[in-house]
Amino acid sequence: MKPSVQTRTSRSILTKGSGFLHGYSHTLNPYAGCAFGCSYCYVRRMPIALFREEDWGEWVDIKENAVELVKKEIPKARKKGKVSIFMSSSTDPYQPVEYNTGLTRGLLEAMVEEPPDFLFLQTRSPLVSRDIDLLKVLGSRVMVSLTIETDLDSVRKIFAPSAPPIAARLNALKELRREGIPSQAAIAPLLPCSEEFPDKLSDVTNRITLDDFFMGDGSGGNRTEQLGIRKLFEENGLSDWYDRSTYLKIKKRLEKTFADDAIYISQKGFFPPDQL
């Protein structure tokens, strides 16, 4: 089912960083809502989703004046200090509607002209590789974090059936590395995976961030419980994976393939470089 898509005018586009993302001066969400509608998404328990009639994943609002706003707001923010932006905290900037709107690309074009000190670009879509030309210009000012929470598409279909296939994401991350774009694989949240997962990741990236429901949902796992994710694990015979210690087992597997300084845990893996 295609989501309901609307356009709206926003008063502002940069929001002060706080909470899990307190290391950033601002967050930027070009859209409200997300068509990927992942079952475990912590945004489902936030006001933006709770006070909407449609279910999460069934609606998307396009912030049509986002580019105009960012051109004004970055210079204004710079007068107060460094500008570090996390895009995006409550949507995916490369969800399907981006194919038609080009809104995220427009924002990157604006940032090439008026660059922030640092941009962290978080997505689970291979569409990000479309904008490699702009990401190259931003250079060390950007980090692309591509979510690859499992290497098993059968698992992806249980928890996030509308999200892009795993193979496409792996290919996109490989292309980003080949083109010299600073990037990482975000195993976030960790889902059941095969023993070959670390080797598959080593073929496409040099940096990993590992996170799970208990560290990363902003509530110590409470939001995830409220969403019924435990039941989803149990119904699919995966209950052993729903445990606070599971990430440590996967970390040990990753350490056989990646150097210690290439593996980041939870919040640290999403911080800007000057905060590490």
Domain spans, the chain = 4-268
CA–CA distance, 265 with 244 (Å, rounded to integer): 13
114-166 residue pLDDT tens: 999 999 999 999 999 999 999 999 999 999 999 999 999 999 999 999 999 99
Inter-helix orientation angle 103-113/66-78, to 10°: 30
Residue pointed to by tokens 């000012």: 141
In this prediction, residue 219 carries a pLDDT of: 78
Helices (H) and strands (E) in the chain, counts: 12, 11
Amino acid at 271: F
Q: Mind giving me the DSSP string for 43-80?
A: GGGSHHHHT-SSPTTSEEEEETTHHHHHHHHHHHHHTT
Give me the pLDDT at residue 115, please: 96
Calpha distance 21→23 (Å, rounded): 5
- pLDDT per position as a tens digit, 202-235: 999 999 999 999 997 777 888 889 889 999 999 9
* 58 exposure class (CB count in 10 Å sphere: 0-12, 13-18, 19+): middle
Token pair for 260: 């210690």
CATH 3.80.30.30 for domain 4-268:
yes
Q: How many other CB atoms sit within 10 Å of the CB of residue 17?
A: 18
Identify the CA nearest to 57 among candidates 91, 89, 87: 91
pTM: 0.95
pLDDT at 63 > cutoff 70? yes
Looking at residues 182-195, what average pLDDT do you find? 98
Distance CA 41, CA 89 (A): 11
Residue 89 near residue 21, CB atoms below 8 Å: yes
pLDDT at 46 over 90: no
- Which whole number is the average pLDDT over 157-185? 98
pLDDT for 216? 78
Q: What is the arithmetic mean of pLDDT over 6-31?
A: 94
Mean of per-residue pLDDT scores for the chain: 95
Structure tokens at 113: 């002209």
Q: Is the Cβ–Cβ distance between 13 and 69 less than 8 Å?
A: yes
Q: What pLDDT sits at residue 274?
A: 79
Note the pLDDT of residue 193.
98
Whether residue 211 contacts residue 244, with contact meaning beta carbons closer than 8 Å, is answered with no
> Which DSSP symbol is given to 24?
S
**How far apart, in whole angstroms, are the C-alpha atoms of residue 26 and residue 76?**
12
Mean pLDDT of 77-98: 96
- Amino acid identity of 214? F
Please choose, from the candidates 200, 92, 101, the residue with its C-alpha nearest in 3D space to the C-alpha of residue 146: 92
Distance, in Å, from the CA atom of 185 to the CA atom of 192, rounded to the nearest integer, reads 16
pLDDT given at position 20:
82
Q: Does residue 1 carry a pLDDT above 70?
A: no
d(CA 172, CA 184): 11
Per the CB < 8 A criterion, the answer to whether 139 and 103 are in contact is: no
Q: What's the average model confidence in pLDDT over 11-27?
A: 92
Alpha-carbon dihedral angle through residues 266, 169, 235, 188, given to the nearest 10 degrees = 10
Residue 276's pLDDT band, with cuts at 50, 70 and 90, is low
> Could you tell me the pLDDT band of residue 87, with boundaries at 50, 70 and 90?
very high
The pLDDT of residue 174 is above 90? yes
Cα–Cα distance for residue pair 33/31, rounded to 1 Å: 6
